[in-house]
């Protein structure tokens, strides 16, 4: 056929569609994300880990434009590296979140990414910060990405204060699974990162190990 | 032909003297000895050690805030000898350079590259009239992923080199001779022997029997490649071992 337009995925920006979530529990935080990266209607990467380390005990969850989000995470990782050497100890989660927020706010017109920053530090224990569009707010839990709209009801109803580590992990897996079922831009496998005083644990839950709901 | 054209400025800024010397750089070396401290670094078979004196001149000073050992990256440490303020400036620059390298190239900087970078920066100061060289000398230690334990030194002239052992400071000539003698037979130094050699070197050239509070010891070992400074208790263990051997 004459004059065939080029495929959509060549011209569409690579977005991380996404469902991301971070929850604080007594003694630490759990972060979770899906693994789908889309360019228009094409899935460019079906196994991308959207939980990026900023420091040993501070991670961030990426959403929005894949390149923008990765770049912010890498910049903050670099700044935290030097900062932690200068202060001679592990940086605070608040510092990491502030660095992310400052970049997001300064370049808010050019960037299109939302990072949720979560981690554990000695001063305040587990903390979750949302940095949407350049604001900085500490929350007991935060969800983000296109898939989050489908699960606001679920998290609002099911979240309880004082959950333990295993409960939190299960809560995150359930939330991700529900969102991945309904959101076209989220899917693949679920990545989990659990951070507490004793260390950082990374997990993958493969597609067929995800919990199933009424339709399966 | 070469007389008089410098009008005596060759001693004041970093331009060549008629004999081809850079007086300001030589004065910078003298500034290192001014602090009165000496530091020693020794490379063992599977570890590297740096030792420096800890002199707290004022009784009112909080000695826990006084240190000449610094982390540059989690795996690269250094001991600074000489002018305190210049030392901190160089340490800060090193940290930023290491951080930038990791950001730009995606992997941790190695000690030899970091040392070369700092030496290159120091060289610029020897060519610029508006900036003076720094009056401090840095000994870097690390466990290199390829080469194992490494010990590097960079000085105000912009010269840098890797060493098996080296000393810097007020008593560096005597300390270097001591180290040359002890390492002549190229012994395989275990971690403990390396620490004890470094401490004995300082003791011997300064004719001092050290207490653990008068020493700072920094180590990196193959089992624990992160740079750390020994606690007073650990230093005490080594001092006792040295005393028992004599």
Q: Dump pLDDT digits (tens) for A177-191.
A: 999 999 988 999 999
A106, two tokens: 């300064």
Crossing angle for the helix pair B84-105 and A66-87, to the nearest 10 degrees: 160
Closest chain B C-alpha to A83 CA, distance in angstroms = 9
Mean pLDDT, to the nearest integer, of A117-132?
95
pLDDT in tens, A43-102: 989 999 999 999 999 999 999 998 999 999 999 999 999 999 999 999 999 999 999 999
Q: Categorize the per-residue pLDDT at A7 as very low, low, confident or very high, splitting at 50, 70 and 90.
A: confident
Contact with chain A for residue B100, Cβ under 8 A: yes
The neighbour count for residue B15, using CB atoms within 10 Å, is: 14
State the pTM of this model.
Answer: 0.87
Q: Is A140 exposed, middle or buried (0-12, 13-18, 19+ CB in 10 A)?
A: middle
Closest residue of chain A to B76, computed from CA coordinates: A85
pLDDT in tens, B129-160: 888 899 999 999 999 999 999 999 999 999 99
Is B119 in contact with B138 (CB distance < 8 Å)? no
Taking alpha carbons only, the member of B86, B37, B22, B17 closest to residue B208 is B37
**What is the spatial distance between Cα B99 and Cα B103, in angstroms, rounded to a whole number?**
6
Closest chain A C-alpha to B184 CA, distance in angstroms = 37
> What average pLDDT is seen over chain A?
91
- Asked if B99 lies within 8 A of A81 by C-beta distance, the reply is yes
Beta-carbon contacts of B149 under 8 Å, excluding residues fewer than 6 positions away, are B43, B44, B45, B46, B47, B48, B141, B142, B143, B220, B222
Pairing of strands A58-64, A37-39: unpaired
B192, two tokens: 């403990």
The one-digit pLDDT tens for each residue of chain B (246 residues) are: 445 555 677 777 778 888 888 888 999 999 999 999 999 999 999 999 999 999 988 889 998 899 999 999 999 999 999 999 999 999 999 999 999 999 999 999 999 999 999 999 999 999 888 888 999 999 999 999 999 999 999 999 999 999 999 999 999 999 999 999 999 998 899 999 999 999 999 999 999 899 999 999 999 999 999 999 999 999 999 999 999 987
The neighbour count for residue A49, using CB atoms within 10 Å, is: 14
Q: What percent of chain A has pLDDT over 70?
A: 95
Confidence at residue B130, expressed as pLDDT on a 0 to 100 scale? 82
Residue A172 DSSP SS3: helix
Eight-class DSSP state of B20: S
- Asked if A82 lies within 8 A of B95 by C-beta distance, the reply is yes
What is the DSSP secondary-structure string of A29-72? Answer: EEEEE---EEETTEEEESS---EEEEETTEEEEEEEBHHHHHHH
Q: Tokens 């000539």 map to which residue?
A: B173
Residue B102 has its nearest CB partner, among A78, A86, A88, at: A78
Contact with chain A for residue B222, Cβ under 8 A: no
Confidence at residue A194, expressed as pLDDT on a 0 to 100 scale? 97
Which residues in chain A are contacts of B99 at CB distance < 8 A? 78-79, 81-82, 85
**Is residue A9 predicted with pLDDT exceeding 90?**
no
**What is the spatial distance between Cα B72 and Cα B226, in angstroms, rounded to a whole number?**
11
- A175 is known as an active-site residue: no
Contact with chain B for residue A70, Cβ under 8 A: no
Which of residues B175 and A216 earns the better pLDDT score?
B175
Contact with chain A for residue B99, Cβ under 8 A: yes
Confidence at residue B1, expressed as pLDDT on a 0 to 100 scale? 45
Q: Categorize the per-residue pLDDT at A157 as very low, low, confident or very high, splitting at 50, 70 and 90.
A: very high
Closest chain A C-alpha to B178 CA, distance in angstroms = 34
Taking alpha carbons only, the member of B104, B76, B72, B77 closest to residue A77 is B104
**Is residue A2 predicted with pLDDT exceeding 70?**
no
Taking alpha carbons only, the member of B65, B141, B60, B73 closest to residue B107 is B73
- For residue B218, the cross-strand partners are B50, B229
Beta-carbon contacts of A146 under 8 Å, excluding residues fewer than 6 positions away, are A17, A18, A19, A63, A183, A185, A186
Mean pLDDT, to the nearest integer, of A15-38?
91
3-state helix, strand, coil split of chain B in percent (to 5) is 40, 25, 35
Contact with chain B for residue A77, Cβ under 8 A: yes
- Asked if B103 lies within 8 A of A74 by C-beta distance, the reply is yes
Contact with chain A for residue B95, Cβ under 8 A: yes
Alpha carbon B188 to chain centroid, angstroms: 22
The neighbour count for residue A150, using CB atoms within 10 Å, is: 18
């Amino acid at each position: 056929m004459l004059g065939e337009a080029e495929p959509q995925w060549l011209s569409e920006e690579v977005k991380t569609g996404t469902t991301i979530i971070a929850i604080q529990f007594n003694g630490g935080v759990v972060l979770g994300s899906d693994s789908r990266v889309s360019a228009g209607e094409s899935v460019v990467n079906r196994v991308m880990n959207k939980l990026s380390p900023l420091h040993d005990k501070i991670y961030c969850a990426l959403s929005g434009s894949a390149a923008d989000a990765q770049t912010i995470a890498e910049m903050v990782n670099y700044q935290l590296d030097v900062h932690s050497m200068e202060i001679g100890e592990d940086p605070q989660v608040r510092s990491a979140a502030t660095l992310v927020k400052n970049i997001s706010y300064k370049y808010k017109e050019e960037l299109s990414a939302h990072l949720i920053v979560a981690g554990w530090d000695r001063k305040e224990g587990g903390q979750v910060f949302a940095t949407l569009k350049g604001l900085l707010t500490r929350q007991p839990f935060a969800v983000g990405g296109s898939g989050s709209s489908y699960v606001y009801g679920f998290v609002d109803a099911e979240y309880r204060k004082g959950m333990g580590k295993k409960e939190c992990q299960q809560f995150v897996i359930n939330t991700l699974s529900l969102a991945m079922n309904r959101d076209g831009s989220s899917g693949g496998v679920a990545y989990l990162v659990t951070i507490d005083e004793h260390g950082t644990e990374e997990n993958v839950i493969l597609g067929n190990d995800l919990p199933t709901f009424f339709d399966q | 032909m070469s007389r008089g054209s410098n009008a005596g400025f060759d001693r004041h800024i970093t331009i060549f003297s008629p004999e081809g010397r850079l007086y300001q750089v030589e004065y910078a070396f003298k500034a290192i000895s001014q602090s009165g401290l000496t530091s020693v670094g020794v490379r063992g078979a599977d570890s590297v050690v740096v030792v420096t004196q800890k002199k707290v001149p004022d009784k009112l000073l909080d000695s826990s805030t006084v240190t000449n050992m610094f982390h540059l990256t989690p795996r690269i440490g250094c001991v600074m000898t000489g002018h305190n303020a210049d030392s901190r400036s160089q340490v800060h620059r090193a940290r930023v350079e290491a951080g930038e390298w990791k950001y730009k190239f995606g992997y941790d900087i190695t000690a030899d590259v970091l040392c070369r970078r700092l030496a290159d920066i120091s060289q610029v100061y020897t060519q610029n009239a508006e900036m003076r060289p720094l009056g401090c000398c840095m000994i870097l230690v690390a466990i290199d992923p390829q080469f194992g334990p490494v010990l590097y030194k960079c000085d105000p002239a912009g010269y840098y080199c890797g060493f098996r052992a080296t000393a810097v400071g007020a008593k560096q000539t005597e300390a270097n001779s001591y180290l040359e003698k002890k390492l002549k037979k190229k012994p395989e130094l275990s971690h403990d022997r390396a620490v004890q050699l470094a401490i004995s070197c300082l003791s011997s050239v300064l004719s001092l029997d050290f207490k653990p509070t008068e020493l700072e010891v920094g180590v990196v070992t193959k089992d624990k490649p992160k740079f750390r400074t020994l606690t007073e208790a650990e230093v005490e263990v080594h001092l006792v071992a040295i005393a028992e051997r004599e």
